[in-house]
């Protein structure tokens, strides 16, 4: 079927088509916490970047469908050279991942010969290939603590790098990258939310600016936020709204408020049900990484996974 035909079907029709393709093709759908609710409920597993990478290593499915942004599908492909990894929209990139090139990383390394490069997974395969180790927002502090250097070039998120710097005595050389969704939050959002929901604790993602992080009660990845949701009747949540929708769906008797209802990652929302059905039927778009780059990027990812064993 063509994409236009899928777009004319109901959610129920699309959902049963997706389920049928998953069965017949031995496919697993891995979804990030920021996906739209219809995708979240159809995903076999939902998680943060670390969990998705761990699941990609563990799955025995023949086809991996990554519902998220391109770097996540690339990570799955880097870790699974023998499997087909697909993403439903080639345009679904992470703008922050485009804020570092391998040439820029190599140039920074030449300026700091004693430093090691820790790159956030929100990077291209080419940047991972020139990095010593990767990290996610779940394990960035642990990874930086564990690497064998006192000086770290932290690529590409300046806010996450600054947060890590506040938790370690190592010297962190910051990069000028940022996430357009989390950079929108300001300390005034925190004040407003505290006024609207007195006494409710606030959790924010470490991609938020330092003046937001400093005012929050908790700072953690989207996976860490789901753990907090299990422990609190109410929370104000400073990240993309897809995660807040997941919390309210999974805990209908509790209240989770977005720190801002405008925190929407357009790139994450490029995946929808018609595109997922079309991608499964046609097994596209296949995400491939040139072998030489893949092998070097795999080294940096595997080093991270060894420091953060599976779910």
Element (H, E) at 115: none
- Residue 267 touches which of ligand 13P, ligand SF4, none (Cβ within 5-8 Å per kind): ligand SF4
> 86 to 115, contacts with ligand SF4 by CB under 6 A?
94-96
Closest separation between CB of residue 154 and ligand SF4, Å? 15
Q: Single out the segment in contact with ligand SF4 by CB under 6 A; choices: 21-29, 194-202, 217-225, 262-270.
A: 262-270
By CB under 6 A, tell whether 33 contacts ligand SF4. Answer: no
Closest separation between CB of residue 93 and ligand SF4, Å? 8
Closest separation between CB of residue 89 and ligand SF4, Å? 13
* Residue 46 DSSP SS3: strand
By CB under 6 A, tell whether 222 contacts ligand 13P. Answer: yes
Looking up tokens 């997974």 gives 121
Tokens of residue 236, six digits: 């104000």
- Residue 136 touches which of ligand 13P, ligand SF4, none (Cβ within 5-8 Å per kind): ligand 13P
By CB under 6 A, tell whether 54 contacts ligand 13P. Answer: no
Of positions 132, 240, 245, 272, contacts ligand SF4 by CB under 6 A: 240
By CB under 6 A, tell whether 33 contacts ligand 13P. Answer: yes
Length in residues, the chain? 311
* Residue 118 DSSP SS3: strand
CA distances (Å), origin 190, targets 39, 196, 212 = 30, 10, 7
Rounded CA-CA distance 218/162 in Å is: 16
By CB under 6 A, tell whether 49 contacts ligand 13P. Answer: yes
CB nearer ligand SF4, residue 95 or residue 210: 95
DSSP code of 29?
Answer: E
Give the number of residues in contact with ligand SF4, rule: CB under 6 A. 13
Q: What are the phi and psi torsion angles at 109 (to 5°)? A: -65, -40
Element (H, E) at 231: helix 222-231
**Angle subtended at Cα 299 by Cα 294 and Cα 300, rounded to the nearest 5 degrees:** 100
By CB under 6 A, tell whether 271 contacts ligand 13P. Answer: no
Count of CB atoms situated within 10 Å of the CB of 230: 10
Rounded CA-CA distance 208/41 in Å is: 27
Q: Which residues bind ligand 13P (CB under 6 A)?
A: 33, 48-49, 122, 136-137, 179, 207, 221-222
Q: Which residues bind ligand SF4 (CB under 6 A)?
A: 69, 94-96, 122, 179-181, 207, 240, 265, 267-268
């Amino acid at each position: 079927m063509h994409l236009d035909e899928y777009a004319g079907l109901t959610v129920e029709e699309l959902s049963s088509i997706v389920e049928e393709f998953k069965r017949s093709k031995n496919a697993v759908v891995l979804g990030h916490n920021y996906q739209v609710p219809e995708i979240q409920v159809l995903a076999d597993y939902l998680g943060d970047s670390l969990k998705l990478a761990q699941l990609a290593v563990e799955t025995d499915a023949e086809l991996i469908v990554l519902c998220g942004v391109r770097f996540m599908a690339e990570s799955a492909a880097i870790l699974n050279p023998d499997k087909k990894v697909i993403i439903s929209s080639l345009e679904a990139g992470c703008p922050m991942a485009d804020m570092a090139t391998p040439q820029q990383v190599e140039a920074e390394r030449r300026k700091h010969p004693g430093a090691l490069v820790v790159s956030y997974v929100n990077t291209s395969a080419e940047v991972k290939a020139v990095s010593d180790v990767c990290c996610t927002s779940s394990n960035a502090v642990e990874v930086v603590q564990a690497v064998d250097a006192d000086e770290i070039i932290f690529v590409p998120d300046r806010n996450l790098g600054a947060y890590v710097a506040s938790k370690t005595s190592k010297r962190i050389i910051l990069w000028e990258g940022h996430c357009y969704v989390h950079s929108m939050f300001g300390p005034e959002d925190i004040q407003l939310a505290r006024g609207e929901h007195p006494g409710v604790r606030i959790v924010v993602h470490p991609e938020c600016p330092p003046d937001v992080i400093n005012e929050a009660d908790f700072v953690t990845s989207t996976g860490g936020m789901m753990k907090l949701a299990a422990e609190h009747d109410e929370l104000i949540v400073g990240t993309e709204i897809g995660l807040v929708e997941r919390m309210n769906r999974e805990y209908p008797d509790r209240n989770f408020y977005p720190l801002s209802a405008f925190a929407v990652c357009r790139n994450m929302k490029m995946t929808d049900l018609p595109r997922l059905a079309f991608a499964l039927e046609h097994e596209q778009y296949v995400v491939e990484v040139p072998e030489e780059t893949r092998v070097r990027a795999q080294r940096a990812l595997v080093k991270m996974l060894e420091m953060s064993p599976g779910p």
